[in-house]
């Protein structure tokens, strides 16, 4: 039986309102991004990675990106952080801006991986820009530790 309750969500205490419902909400990710581009353009897409695929080369996004693993595992590495594995059913995000996204590779060699992303971009700028070798070298001291677990490969 439904009951009327005040709905507050997540760490931010986002107020949904007073409602009667039998639905169940499962919080996947609750973050306050450091910035949202003024007049942000939003793109939602699925990304399919074949087994062992290294994904997009090092790049950056003009605004924050939010994702959810639909199936498989993603080897995910942002500038200043150690690589980590994101598994099916887990959510992730990155702030975008000047930060380099080093890896979004399929961590599995025997099956594909698939995730959905919601990207918020600066109007008139590309959602994704590749980083050249010269800049990667100049910023290599900002890259995090390079180990996830014993089976981490040096794909990028």
Give the 3-state DSSP-derived string for the chain, with helices as H, strands as E and coil as C. Answer: CCEEEEEEECCCCEEEEEEEECCCCCCCCCCCCCCCCCCCEEEEEEEEECCCCCCCCCEEECCCEEEEEEECEEEEEECCCCCEEEECCCEEEECCCCCCEEEEEECCCCCCEEEEEEEEECCCCCCEEECCHHHHHHCHHHCCCCCCCCCCCCCC
CATH of 41-142, one of 3.40.50.300, 3.40.1380.10, 1.10.3720.10, 2.60.120.10: 2.60.120.10
Among the ranges given (3-17, 98-112, 125-139), the one the predictor scored with the smallest mean pLDDT: 3-17
The yes-or-no verdict on residue 11 having pLDDT over 50 is yes
pLDDT in tens, 41-75: 999 999 999 999 999 999 999 999 999 999 999 99
pLDDT in tens, 138-156: 999 999 876 555 344 444 4
More confident residue, 116 or 151: 116
Hey, where are the domains in the chain?
A: 41-142
pLDDT of residue 12: 57
């Amino acid at each position: 039986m439904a009951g009327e309750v005040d709905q507050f969500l997540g760490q931010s205490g986002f107020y949904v309102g007073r409602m009667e419902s039998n639905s169940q909400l499962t919080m996947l990710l609750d973050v306050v991004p450091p910035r949202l581009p003024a007049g942000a353009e939003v793109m939602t897409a699925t990304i399919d990675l074949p087994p062992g695929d290294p994904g997009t080369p090092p790049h950056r996004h003009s605004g924050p990106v939010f994702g959810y693993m639909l199936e498989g595992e993603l080897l995910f590495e942002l500038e200043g952080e150690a690589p980590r594995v994101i598994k099916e059913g887990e959510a992730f995000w990155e702030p975008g801006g000047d930060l380099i996204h080093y890896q979004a590779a399929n961590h599995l060699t025997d099956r594909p991986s698939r995730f959905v992303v919601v990207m918020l971009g600066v109007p008139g700028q590309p959602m994704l820009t590749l980083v050249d070798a010269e800049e990667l070298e100049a910023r290599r001291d900002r890259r995090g530790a390079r180990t996830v677990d014993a089976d981490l490969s040096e794909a990028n």
